[in-house]
Chain A
Amino acid sequence: MKYILLTIVLLTITLTNTGSKNLGYDKNLVDIASTKYNGNKYETIMMSRKGERVKAKYFAAKDVNNNSVYQRYKQWAVGKNIILVSSGTYMDNSFSPVGITIDNGVIVNKSLENFDGLVIVYATGGIAVSNIKDGNLSINCDGGNKTYDVKKPYDRINFMNCAVEVGATVFQTHLLVFKNDIKVGQSNSSQTQRERRFLAACKDENGVVHHFVINSPGNCSLYECTKRVKELLINGKDMEEVVFMINLDTGAQDVFKVYDADGSENTLIKGTQDLSIAANLLVYYYE
């Protein structure tokens, strides 16, 4: 009887652990590196979207049941093979997301901010970024691609209705690089000398899309960092085109965790804050 009970307990523990354990990912699709380029240190996580096995997920805000972003992430992450988790975009002094925000088809914030980048994270794990200034934001809706100019009220209403309908996740942020052009100005951007983190999507010479999360631990202004990181991606990482690059928050919610291919936590590359304080989270996982 004793042995049977012991076996049941052990079996339960094993099964519970297997459910929440990060099983890792295909190391051919992810490259984690600490590099020095032009005298500056960087930590890069390069993820290939080949075969669309590497996917993105974004938690923009608390859910309707008031579960925090951290609680939502913890529940969702069970059985998932996480590659990295990072704080996402800006929050205000009420810890609410800044700019248009839709979380999984639920509208969080309808206020259009003065940021050029509008990021759409699809339920399928893909990420698309549009330059609001161009007025040609494209979204998969009603089985087809639709284009909107969100600066126009009529288009903005229709775009939001569409995003809600398809259950998309949308947020607004500073667009730093778009189609190889640096979009942030030297004089009209943050001059604060500080560490920074970026999310970029690039195409290599074969047209394969790679997503990068780049940590720039050295202090620099937003423009200077953008310029340096773009150079790193083009020349240091041999990318043909930087499709987009956006800023990730390293301020009050500097949350960043990276996992190695075997599923263990990388202790060398990490943020300064605990996951539980995050107001929003960007997650990359392998499926």
Chain B
Amino acid sequence: MNKTLKILILFLVIVVGVVFLLSQLMKGSSKKEVEEVINGQLFRNTEKFNLKTVLSDTTINLEKNFPYTKYFESANYSTGKNIAIDLATLINFNKGDAEKTGMFYSELLTNKLAEYLKPRMKNFSIDSFIYLEKWAEQFKSYSEVDQQNSIMHEIVYDYWMNSITTNLRKLDSIDQGAKFTFKYKYLRARCAQEKYLTSIGFSSTEKVMNNLTQQKWGYIIKRFFTETSIFLKIGMVLFLFLTLYGYICIIKQHTKGRKR
């Protein structure tokens, strides 16, 4: 093989290697820019809304006439104290029917609140979900102390924890680099502590790495022969050949130098 051809092959191998490495690095950094916080005011509203005034008319249809937007823009559902006051007002409105009130209030703080938040959550933001998780967590404690409305609090807590894990999975699917950020890891760990596991699947590279670390050689070889394309097989054989050829050249050159 003449010298120019050798240099050309070496150059090609280096170029292919560099392009491969760069493409792998770019994969991680080509993430979509995300909105930092959905709404700085969310769960931080300080102004309270007087539910008693709205419910003074006891003949209204609660589901239809409830001022959902006004309620979600208020501070009424941000703390346990405020929630307890509103729950008492609603139970009073429902003539002491705690179960009916619980069903309404849990729907209010799950599906209805999710509808209200939907436009703001178009762009995923870890910060938003950290806010949500912090807010949802309090319902777990309420469920333990407020026995009368225990199920209602559990429902709200479960709904948002499930929503957060679903959104973490979505975020991972659109941005493979996200799971390596501190905030993502923190939130995932918080959810896992509460037994809401964010099941993130193996990427192709992770699968290979996992099989390599577990030394599943037979399995790797089998998968390589049965599932890869003919081009990849040829590519791998060429890569192996070139690598071996490189070693042979080095050894030859080394022994030549020694003889001299």
Which A residues fall within an 8 A CB radius of B?
Answer: 90, 92-94, 96-99, 107-113, 153-154, 156-158, 192-194, 219, 251-252, 254, 272-273, 277
Contacts and interface: CB of A to CB of B under 8 A. Distances in A.
Interface string B177-210: 0000000000000011011111111100011001
Contact of A93 (B196, B202, B216): B202
A194 B219 CA distance: 12
Contacts of B198: 111
Contacts of B218: 272
Contacts of B49: none
Q: Which of A94, A97, A98, A157 has the most CB of B within 10 A?
A: A157
Given A153-B106, A154-B151, A273 B219 contact: yes
B47 interface: no
A111 B197 contact: yes
B65 interface: no
A110 B195 contact: yes
Contacts of B207: 251-252
B201 A156 contact: no
19 contacts: A92-B199, A92-B202, A94-B200, A96-B197, A98-B199, A107-B195, A109-B196, A110-B158, A110-B194, A111-B161, A111-B196, A153-B155, A153-B159, A157-B155, A158-B151, A193-B226, A252-B210, A252-B216, A272-B216
B222 A92 contact: no
A206 to B, nearest CB: 40
Interface residues of B, number: 34
B199 A96 contact: yes
Contacts, number: 82
Q: Which of A96, A110, A194, A272 has the most CB of B within 10 A?
A: A110
B227 interface: yes
B199 A111 contact: yes
The secondary structure that dominates the B interface is helix
B211 interface: yes
Nearest to A109: B197
Nearest to A95: B210
Given A96-B199, A108-B195, A193-B227, A154 B106 contact: yes
A273 B210 CA distance: 14
Contacts of A99: 199
B160 to A, nearest CB: 10
B150 to A, nearest CB: 10
A99 to B, nearest CB: 7
Given A94-B200, A112-B162, A113-B199, 15 more contacts: A90-B199, A92-B199, A97-B199, A107-B195, A108-B195, A108-B197, A109-B196, A110-B158, A110-B162, A111-B191, A111-B198, A154-B103, A251-B207, A272-B216, A272-B218
B105 to A, nearest CB: 12
Contacts of B151: 154, 157-158
A92 B200 contact: yes
B162 A111 contact: yes
Contacts of A254: 219
Contact of B222 (A108, A158, A272): A272
A113 B199 CA distance: 9
B154 A157 contact: yes
Contacts of A156: 158
Contacts of B138: none
A153 B158 contact: yes
B165 A252 contact: no
B110 interface: yes
B158 A192 contact: no
B187 to A, nearest CB: 13
Nearest to B155: A153
Contacts of B222: 272
A110 B196 contact: yes
A156 B158 CA distance: 9
Nearest to A155: B155
